[in-house]
A and B are shown apart, each in its own frame.
Chain A
Amino acid sequence: MQKIHYFDYASTTPVDKRVLKAMMPFFMDEFGNPSNLYSIGHHAQKALALATGKVIKPLGCKPDEFIFTGSATEADNLALIGVAKANRHLGNKIIVSNVEHKGILAAAEALTKEGTDAEKFELQVVEIGKNGLVSPQKIAEMIDDKTVLVSITYVDSETGTIQPIKEIAKVIANYREINNTKLPYFHTDASQAANFLDINVDNLGVDLLTLSSQKIYGPKGVGGLYIRKGTPIKPIIYGGGQQNNIRSGTENMPGIVGFGAAMEIAEKEKVKESARLKKMRDKLESKIIKTIDKVLVNGNIDSRLPNYSNISILDIEGEAMLLYLDNKGIIINTGSACNSQSLEPSYVLVAFGRPYEYIHGSLRFTLGRFTSSQDVNYVIKNLPPIVKKLRKVSPLDLKIGDEKNMSMPKAFVGGQTPHFLRKQIK
């Protein structure tokens, strides 16, 4: 089999060997259910406490402030739906950004539709600015006495742009102080951020924070939500009352132990790994720009994760590049419509103000723990001929900076608005 050069760590990471080793006993030998009083149940409970301690250490919170879930999507749903429903009698407004993960956006949209009028919510979307950042000032202007929750992602998953969470937390705290209220609560999704950034909840000033195990070299099927003590929240899963009645269901012991081990390693290697990846990412990006013409970097280059490089290569389409690269053993991702289930181009790149022509040709490289400089050199060598070949196939010759002449909502089959634009026009 061909050697794989993996550049899609933002999609998912492989489990680290050290993590797998820590998990192994919990499948067969230590199979106990932590809810049981007898000895093996007690063992499981001890292991659960130990793993919880490891996961929450970088958060700087108490063990009872952290709930394990089945995924980061579930944690996002719990944060949004749980807090919204528990506070519906106090207000009906939720604020999210336009670069959130679908786990936030879809849950927020469901809240606007489900139930009676007395149960429904109003969703306010704060758009990122030209620099790709959410403006704390804008949030301050949007909040009123009906706002129960603000949810802004720490990092968007497409460009890796880091949002000013601390500054947003400050304006929210300021609002609460002036108006002598506990509302709105503030949630952030730190799934992509945990490998590289400070996730201490007090430093950040957040009330809720989502984590994912499968983005930090832990197993899939585990995520978690930090919930600051005193934050009213309703469960979205009901049952035997595990985890303080907030998330019922027998704890996923191997998963949680793996999550703990993964967090411990990620925390220990954070600084060194960030520097190593940044160096390689910068080399990759600068070489691509040097050897291929008409390439643009997407996202805020002054405020992004050290392992992200999202670029648009003009005149050619992302899925075609993805498959040619895959053929060479290079695994990347694209925001092109052809690569998505919905056949719509990446809404995050749309939010960043990129014309559709650029988005169709976008490639997302995300580096990680097992990326070597050989991998980077391999891409630098193999990408230019692929681009050259696909440009020969393409009839286009777009010009950078000619955005005004692009994105004419011309017809796909014959003169009308493209299908992905049509739903916005009511």
Chain B
Amino acid sequence: MKKSKKKKPDIVNKYTGESWVYTPAVKSHFFKPRNLLLENPKTTKYDAEGIVGSPACGDVMRVWLKIDAKTDRVKEFKWRTFGCASAIAATSMLSVMVSEKKGMKLDDAMKIKPQDITARLGGLPNRKIHCSVLGDKALRAAIQNWFKKTEQYDRIITESKRIIDLNTKTTDVDIEEAVLDGARTLQDVQKKTKVGIGYPECIPEVEELIRFYTEKYFGN
């Protein structure tokens, strides 16, 4: 089974070089999701809860955590996801990563990147990475919820948006989205966001952000 994970995909797009097949790990987590919350989600027996996404966009992820206050570790990670195969498999894999062994330290769990999840899944087709980026955000939202509940305000990290282009009010999140949508160059991003067209001063920063997000989601 391990060998087949590393096997080259049998179909590759000859123009983009992109593979369009799911790995055995993705299929396994998609068809047999782990750590799913099966009872009514209104339950209060969990210590923290996080939700991200919107049904209009086609992805919603909701996670519930049990946290050991003494060891500062995640004891249990339960979830539900509305979304495609990548989204479901990514949340399932995340749940395993966070709760395996003794459970992950909260500080480490806060640092999980989409890339870490896709690596454990043996990779995702490029354009499906978009569908998998919500899992870690939902997890962070839940941990922040725990910090708030337990009054550990100093540990809360705010993920606020920052305006890059004063004219169009384009934010770093807009650029992140554009990169996730497939934009790789300034021209691509401008097509989607119009960033920097009336405010060229911000272009160096935009280019830096494109490099950063490309690296974050698609780099090795």
Residues of A within 8 A of B (CB): 315-320, 323-324, 327, 336-339, 341, 343, 345, 355-357, 360, 392-396, 398, 406-416, 418-419, 422-423
Contact = CB atoms under 8 A, between A and B. Distances in A.
Nearest to A316: B82
Contact of B55 (A320, A339, A357, A411): A357
Nearest to A327: B31
Contacts of B192: 419, 422-423
B80 A394 contact: yes
A391 to B, nearest CB: 9
Contact of A317 (B82, B130, B133): B82
Given A395-B41, A415-B161, A317 B56 contact: no
B81 A395 contact: yes
A345 B61 CA distance: 19
5 contacts: A343-B127, A360-B55, A393-B88, A412-B53, A414-B161
Given A317-B83, A323-B30, 8 more contacts: A320-B85, A338-B83, A357-B55, A407-B56, A410-B56, A411-B57, A412-B57, A414-B159
A419 B57 CA distance: 9
B24 interface: no
Interface in B75-113: 80-88
Interface string B23-58: 000000011010010100100000000010111111
B55 A406 contact: yes
Contact of A413 (B36, B61, B177): B177
A202 B80 CA distance: 56
A414 B171 CA distance: 11
Q: Dominant SS at the A interface?
A: loop
Given A413-B176, A423-B192, A394 B54 contact: no
A179 B86 CA distance: 58
Interface in B115-150: 127-128, 130-131, 133, 137
Contact of B173 (A315, A337, A339, A413): A413
Contacts, number: 110
B84 A317 contact: yes
Contact of B81 (A318, A336, A393): A393
A318 B55 CA distance: 13
Contact of B60 (A336, A395, A422): A395
A357 B171 CA distance: 26
B56 A357 contact: yes
A192 B82 CA distance: 32
Given A317-B84, A336-B84, A395-B62, A419 B177 contact: yes
Nearest to B33: A393
Interface residues on B, range: 35 or more
Contact of B82 (A327, A395, A422): A395
Contact of B171 (A327, A393, A395, A416): A416
Contacts of B84: 317-320, 336, 338-339
B59 interface: yes
Nearest to B182: A343
Nearest to B58: A360
A394 B82 contact: yes
Contacts of B193: 422
A319 B61 CA distance: 16
The 8 closest A-B pairs by CB, nearest first: A338-B84, A395-B80, A319-B84, A410-B54, A395-B62, A356-B56, A394-B82, A360-B58
A316 B59 CA distance: 10
A396 B82 contact: yes
Contact of A396 (B36, B55, B86, B176): B55
A211 to B, nearest CB: 29
A398 B177 contact: no
B188 to A, nearest CB: 13
Interface in B167-186: 171, 173-174, 176-178, 180-181
Nearest to B169: A416
Contacts of B177: 412-413, 416, 419
Nearest to A357: B55
A423 to B, nearest CB: 7
A416 B58 contact: no
Contacts of A393: 33, 36, 80-82, 88
Contacts of A422: 192-193
Contacts of B33: 393
Contact of B36 (A339, A392, A406, A410): A392
A409 B171 CA distance: 17
B57 A418 contact: yes
Nearest to B61: A395
B173 A319 contact: no
Contacts of A315: 82
